[in-house]
Amino acid sequence: MITKEEVQHIAGLARIGLSEKEVEIYSKDISSILDWISELKEVDVTGVSPTAHITGMENRLREDAQIDFENKSAVINLFPDRKDNFDKVKSVL
Amino acid sequence: MIQELHNKLINHEITAVQLAEEYFARIEKQDKDLNAYLTLTTELAMEQARRVDEKIATGIEIGILEGIPGAIKDIICVEGYRTTAASKILDNYIAPYDATVIKKLKESGAVILGKTNMDEFAMGSSTEKSAYGPTKNPVDLERVPGGSSGGSAAVVAADEAVWSLGTDTGGSIRQPASFCGVVGLKPTYGRVSRYGAMAMASSLDQIGPIANTVEDVAIVLSVIAGEDRMDGTSAQSPAKDYTKYLTGEVSDLKIGVVKEYREKLTGGAKTSFEKVIEKYEELGAEIREIELPHAKYSLPVYYIIMPCEVSSNLAKYDGIRYGMQAADHEDTTLDFVPEDRNLIETYLDSRRYGFGAEPKRRIMLGTYALSSGYYDAYYLRAQKVRTLIKQDFEKAFSEVDLILTPTTPSPAFKFGEKTADPIQMYLEDIFTITANIVGVPAISVPGPPVSTQADASSSRGGEVEVDGKKLPQGFQLMGKWFDEENLLRAAHAYEINKQN
């Protein structure tokens, strides 16, 4: 069982603000999902390598060349808060 | 259907502009009830259609998809248009570029009508989790169209588009295709570039087409497939003209059927599936019983790998560079002035008000599974079990060419039927999820429909209807890695020979 304190800790790590009610719901939901997926414990995985890429693709190399993105103003227009062409970020402290 | 419309265009029976107008008129008339479109890209569509008409008028030969109207799941970026992933956190997001698939479709001359509804960030199996209200199933408005690409399946079924694109992470193209009675293909992992599609779970996601026929799906795949320098996971296998393989012949193919799956089925879905097996036998394919001993772990493997990758992929939606920032949100219950939020409070509240319940649940689950001390027990173990499932498939594919399963355990369910318990909804994907876990291509094709009466006797339970209405029920074929040719060939052979 995941406690409410654990849920609040995870929510902090995930940067999600939660209401009291949500904390309760997720404590219940996440616990039941974890119970459900715990059947994986019965599988013997001794000596089995984890899958990193399903079709076995390995290091893809390409030229380290810059491509200019032309539509810069469209990106700037998406800033929620801006000053001139800068994205305005809230105070860190 | 695409070939027919193409012939009409080149024989001057209809213009591309008229065709697009016809579709917009139908959308105008029907979509208030269906809610399958979130945004119409009318200006783009009409401009594309005019260009096709000019070409035809000047005697220039046009491609097969040129002037043919389609729709795009709202998780794929179309430059200059709103792309929301059906989430409030991207409510005001205007895509600054085209996804690679959109670039290719535009180059092919296809006409894009609009963006379709879905479960928020592709997380769901019914479109009930869209922040913009659910889409209804055109076959029966009381039922869900499936999900997460529910809008993309519904527009094709309701003839509000000839073809559409969806994305599939655990069945999100195939399950709605099955529910709406259309064809849906999840190509091999890496077959289609995902650049410009918002990532959900990067080791599982794939873009694919939905259409009325296998041939139409093959036509769209031929346009969108291929390597892309903008997506490092796209496969170095060149795109082909997949329609060339649709010979109607299956007598050289060995098709595997999983005993356990077959035994688990009940009600109308069982009858429907058995008829599909009979049909393939009748067409000369060899049916073989196969075993996939670890496939039963696919769902728990998925519900570890997927949320972990979700928690990482959705970290970027923080209200800083684009999307909804908490300051935009008017919440009268707040006991502080929103403008006074510092950086961390902006993150917390942007994500609190921007995300719906399902993305939050999955981000939380993934964050937990990846947090210190749990990585080995969850993510690493899941990736090891994934290897075992893949080995099962390698063994099976040394004996058979294709694997045949139902797409879903039962036909479309009613609104609200599965929203209370997340696990009930997750079980919807039991037959489709394995193809994503192992990366193979898989297609859902309409099989014999199921009467709602027959379905009432199934495990769905409780629901007794005697109106005798038939609901679509799809079957699924899975192929070898990068063998879309045999997959489409077998699907097509069934389609042209069915009597249902």
Number of neighbouring beta carbons within 10 Å of residue B251: 9
pLDDT score of B461: 39
Query: Is B251 annotated in the active site?
Result: no
- Tokens representing residue B110 in the block: 């296809």
Residue pair B382/A40 in contact (Cβ under 8 Å)? The answer is: yes
Catalytic annotation on B398?
no
A10 contacts in chain B (CB < 8 Å): 364, 367-368, 371
Which chain A residue is nearest to residue B303, measuring alpha carbons? Answer: A37
Q: Which of A30, A43, A50 lies closest to B364 in CB terms?
A: A30
- Which site among B192, B318, B360, B376 would you substitute to test the A interface, given the most A Cβ atoms closer than 10 Å to its Cβ? B360
Q: Which residues contact B171 (CB under 8 A, 6 or more apart)?
A: B125, B407, B428, B429, B431, B432, B433, B436
| Backbone torsions φ then ψ of A33, nearest 5 degrees | -70, -40
- Structure confidence at residue B457 (pLDDT): 43
Q: Which residues of A touch B321 (CB under 8 A)?
A: 78-80, 87
Asked if residue A70 is part of any domain, the answer here is no
Give me Rg for the CA atoms of chain A.
Answer: 22
Q: 3.90.1300.10, 3.40.718.10, 1.20.120.80, 3.40.50.720: which CATH number matches B1-317+355-500?
A: 3.90.1300.10
Paired tokens of B282 = 């009748």
Overall domain count for chain A: 1
Instruction: Using CB atoms, pick whichever of A43, A54, A89 lies closest to residue B297.
Output: A43
CA-based R_g, chain B, Å: 22
Least Cα separation, residue B83 to chain A (angstroms): 12
Give the span between the Cα atoms of A18 and B314, in whole angstroms.
17
Task: Quick: pLDDT tens for A5-62.
Answer: 999 999 999 999 999 999 999 999 999 999 988 899 999 999 999 998 898 888 888 8
pLDDT of residue B372: 85
**For every one of its 500 residues, what pLDDT tens digit does chain B have, with 9 covering 90 and above?**
999 999 999 999 999 999 999 999 999 999 999 999 999 999 999 999 999 999 999 999 999 999 999 999 999 999 999 999 999 999 999 999 999 999 999 999 999 999 999 999 999 999 999 999 999 999 999 999 999 999 999 999 999 999 999 999 999 999 999 999 999 999 999 999 999 999 999 999 999 999 999 999 999 999 999 999 999 999 988 889 999 999 999 999 999 999 988 888 888 999 999 999 999 999 999 999 999 999 999 999 999 999 999 999 999 999 999 999 886 555 545 555 566 778 898 899 999 999 999 999 999 999 999 998 899 999 999 999 999 999 999 999 999 999 999 999 999 999 998 887 777 778 878 899 999 999 999 999 999 999 876 444 444 433 434 456 799 999 999 999 999 999 999 999 999 998 75
What ipTM was assigned to the predicted interfaces of this complex? 0.95
Beta-strand relationship, B474-479 and B402-406:
antiparallel
Instruction: Indicate whether A34 belongs to any domain.
Output: yes
Is A64 a domain residue?
no
Strand order in the sheet with B254-258: B37-40, B111-116, B69-73, B163-168, B206-211, B183-186, B442-446, B474-479, B402-406, B254-258, B286-290
**Cis-peptide into B148, omega within 30 deg:** yes
Distance CA B480, CA B461 (A): 36
What per-residue confidence (pLDDT) applies to B460? 45
Question: What end-to-end distance do the CA atoms of chain A give, in Å?
Answer: 35
Which residues from chain B sit within 8 angstroms of residue A25, using beta carbons?
357
Instruction: Tell me, yes or no, if B73 is annotated catalytic.
Output: yes
Average pLDDT over residues A72-92: 91
User: Does residue A15 lie in a domain region?
Assistant: yes
What pLDDT is stored for residue B328 in this prediction?
Answer: 53
pLDDT, greater one: B134 or A89 = B134
Residue A91: predicted pLDDT: 80
Asked, for residue A78, whether it belongs to a domain, the answer is no
User: A8: exposed, middle or buried (C-beta count within 10 Å: 0-12, 13-18, 19+)?
Assistant: middle
The residue range of the domain holding A7 is 1-41
* pLDDT reported for residue B178: 98
Whichever domain contains A18, its CATH number is 1.10.20.60
The number of C-beta contacts closer than 8 angstroms across A and B is 166
Q: Do residues B179 and B418 touch, judged by C-beta distance below 8 A? A: no
What pLDDT is attached to residue B327?
65
Geometric angle at alpha carbon B313, from B334 and B147, rounded to 5°? 90
Gap between the Cα atoms of B472 and B268, Å rounded: 10
Which residues in chain A have their CB less than 8 angstroms from residue B390's CB? 51, 54
